[in-house]
Amino acid sequence: MRVLVTGGLGFIGRAVAVRLVQAGYDVSVLTHRPAEAVRDAPMGVTVLHADLRDREWVMRVVGDVSFDAVCHLAGRSRTRESFDDPLGYYETNVTGMLSLLQALALAAERDGEPIRVVNASTVMVYSPSNGEPISEDMPPRPTSPYGSSKLTVEQLLGYQAATSAIGAVSLRIFSAAGAADGHGDSDLSRIIPKALAVAAGRAPHVEVNGDGSTVREFTHIADIAEAFLLALDAVRVAEHQVFNVGTGVGISVRDLLTTVEAVTGRPLTIMTRPPQNEPVALIANAQRLRDQLQWRPTRSTIDRIITDAWQATTVTTPPMAQGYMA
């Protein structure tokens, strides 16, 4: 099977591309990064260049190749930033998906075969809960431009699947962390990479909202990559399926930072700032993924996540411009 991974040089996308290569797929990654920035691409992949916001460019690069499937991970992904640039988030996430689907529609018509699409979505399509685990049965009510743009992408996939041009699965990822193939998360707007940067002496302090009692969960990117692999086989033409990807095991921010100190053996300088309005807890109910796809998050203990991420801190990866996963 020939698979295109958009955003395949980003944090999660790279892990997905590596896992697909390991599974024997013919993998191409699509990136908007310049050629000189992709010397460290995963072994065994073909690198293609295009910006999904440029429809004609995408048509030339994607539409001319016969892909059997696409794992879509390119996009902007910072919730707080999206409030400052809602138009930019819609342009990248929604227009990017529209360009991709148009190119895939032409390819499907030419080849006479529908294309499988596995889309990286997010917990942010849901509204804040009362702390109970969130299942796919909860109606999506995003409260940020980022979450809203990702829900629009899901809706596009559903409508396009109804034409039988594609089959699609959206994986609503709760929080990706850890490292794979020696590459960790370089986005210091997220708490684990920021805490590890402080432990490594690369940042002065980590900021905590309020007393650090908010609860989050984290899923190892290797387990997320496994979910993408399983989802490729689960795609059904003319259908759009949705699965949560998460462990269902939460940890407070305060306890998370204590674990970082224990794993690294280094104290953290913590700056407490006035609490902001944010969900008390974001915990996944991923039973549907477990039952229907037999997914098991075998690497997603918090100790394993932080250990793997800490070991990867010596690997330098280019920072993602404005949270763009590519």
pLDDT in tens, 117-128: 999 999 999 987
Number of domains in the chain: 2
**Do 120 and 265 belong together in one domain?**
no
| Per-residue pLDDT at 37 | 62
**Do 56 and 156 belong together in one domain?**
yes
**Do 226 and 257 belong together in one domain?**
no
146 noted as active-site residue: yes
**Do 146 and 262 belong together in one domain?**
no
**Do 304 and 167 belong together in one domain?**
no
**Do 213 and 81 belong together in one domain?**
no
**Do 104 and 186 belong together in one domain?**
no
**Do 22 and 145 belong together in one domain?**
yes
- Which whole number is the average pLDDT over 37-53? 87
CATH number at residue 265: 3.90.25.10
pLDDT greater than 90 at residue 323: no
DSSP-H helix ranges across the chain: 11-22, 55-62, 79-84, 86-90, 96-111, 145-161, 191-199, 221-234, 253-264, 287-293, 302-311
**Do 100 and 46 belong together in one domain?**
yes
Given the residues 89, 90, 126, 146, the one annotated as active site: 146
Work out the burial of residue 68: count CB atoms within 10 Å of its CB; fewer than 13 is exposed, 13-18 middle, 19 or more buried: middle
Q: What phi, psi does 244 have (nearest 5°)?
A: -75, 145
| Per-residue pLDDT at 41 | 85
| Per-residue pLDDT at 326 | 40
- Residue 228, domain member (yes or no): yes
Percent of residues, the chain, with pLDDT higher than 70: 95
- Residue 292, domain member (yes or no): no
- Residue 321, domain member (yes or no): no
Q: What is the domain range of residue 123? A: 2-176+219-245
- Residue 322, domain member (yes or no): no
